[in-house]
Each structure stands twice: as C-alpha cells, then as structure tokens.
Amino acid sequence: MIVRDMTNIAHTEEYQSNRKKFEILFSPGYLEGEKSFELSAGYSAATKNYAGKLGEYNMSVSETVMFDPSGAEAYRFQNMDDAGEFLDLIHHSNGHLYLLFRIDLYGYGVYDLTEKTEFFHVPKEPETFIWTDVHYNPGNDMLVVGGCATTTRKSTAHYARSTPGGIRHVARLRACTCGR
C-alpha cells in the first residue's frame, strides 16, 4: 500500500503563488467553450473552459459560476486543471446547503451557501485521489466520494461520516479500493 502525504497545502504561500501562474489563461483569447447545467433546488452553474500553453506545457483551466434560483451569482471558483471536473449540491441534515467540487486535479472545495464560507483541501503530495462524484445520505450523514487513485487501475470510493458542523473536513476519509 502506498501512503501519500495528504497535508493540506491549499492556503500556503507556495501553492497560491503557483496558482497565480495560471491567471494569464483566464482571458478571452484562451476561451475554448462554455457549458451550463442545472443543479438541485433551482440552482444552476456555468463553466468557461480555457486552454493554452504555459511554458512548454499545454494547460486547461476553467472558471465556474453558480447561480441561485433568482439567477444572481451565488459563488465563483477557478480550477487550474479542469480534466474531469465536477460539482454537486448537497442538502445536509443540519439544514445547510453545500457546494462540493474538485479543485485543481487532486483537491476539493466545499462552499457553505448557508454561512457563505469556503473550505479547500489540496494534498501536499500529487497523485493521490481524484474526485469524480459525491453522494450524500442525510439519514446517516454518510458522504461517499467516488473517484480514482492514480496509482492503481481500480475504482476507489472514499467515505466519511460528516460532522454536525457540516461537510468541511472531508479530508479525513477512509479508502475502500474495489476491483473493476
């Protein structure tokens, strides 16, 4: 079993400095396309995808805006690696509404629409776990995160019992690797 360093670097100066390198791609000249989709509870989202070269590398980034039922902007975030991005709206048993989304390739974000707070987790060591979807059961507060571990060809599911405070600290997940 390979153990990866899951220390959260999302708010470190080094990580934030690295994200700034991608800002040039968020301009009309790099826009590749736009897509809109419906979420639950009358919310919707629109994602703009951008692509271009940074140094010798081809990069693909995105910016997603979530709209409330009235059409007003509720939240906005940028993703520095948009391959396989996802977002989902979770109606938690504590009465809060959470937007869960993948940030960059190996991290995730949680935006609490009720309290207007955000939480990000990006693991220190790359090639950990890539989120592809989430499922929440309000009956037992169980959150299941589907995705894949980059070190194996097997499908992987991570799960955690969310806290009464909500779905902020999903970083403490247990892994269950299942064969395909």
Question: Measured between alpha carbons, how far is 102 from 80 in angstroms, rounded to an integer?
Answer: 10
Position 104 pLDDT exceeds 90: no
Residue 77 CA, chain-centre distance (Å), reads 10
Instruction: Name 148's Cβ contacts closer than 8 Å, sequence gap at least 6.
Output: 129, 130, 132, 155, 156
Query: What is the per-residue pLDDT for 102?
Result: 86
Instruction: Determine if residue 97 is left, alpha or beta; phi over 0 gives left, psi from -120 to 50 gives alpha, anything else beta.
Output: beta
- pLDDT class for 103, splitting at 50, 70, 90? confident
Residue 48 lies in a domain: yes
Query: What is the per-residue pLDDT for 35?
Result: 94
Domain containing residue 105: 13-178
Residue 1 lies in a domain: no
Question: Measured between alpha carbons, how far is 68 from 103 in angstroms, rounded to an integer?
Answer: 21
Residue 180 in 3-state DSSP? coil
Residue 7 lies in a domain: no
Domain total for the chain? Answer: 1
Residue 6 lies in a domain: no
Residue 44 lies in a domain: yes
Q: Tens digits of per-residue pLDDT, 37-47? A: 999 999 999 99
Query: What is the per-residue pLDDT for 176?
Result: 43
Average pLDDT, the chain: 81
For residue 145, how many other CB atoms are within 10 A of its CB? 22
The whole-number average pLDDT for the span 130-140 is 81
- pLDDT class for 177, splitting at 50, 70, 90? very low
Query: What is the per-residue pLDDT for 164?
Result: 43
Residue 131 lies in a domain: yes
Q: In Å, what is the CA distance from 128 to each residue of 18, 108, 123, 131, 148?
A: 19, 12, 8, 10, 9
Residue 112 lies in a domain: yes
Residue 8 lies in a domain: no
Pairing state of beta strands 117-121 and 129-137?
unpaired
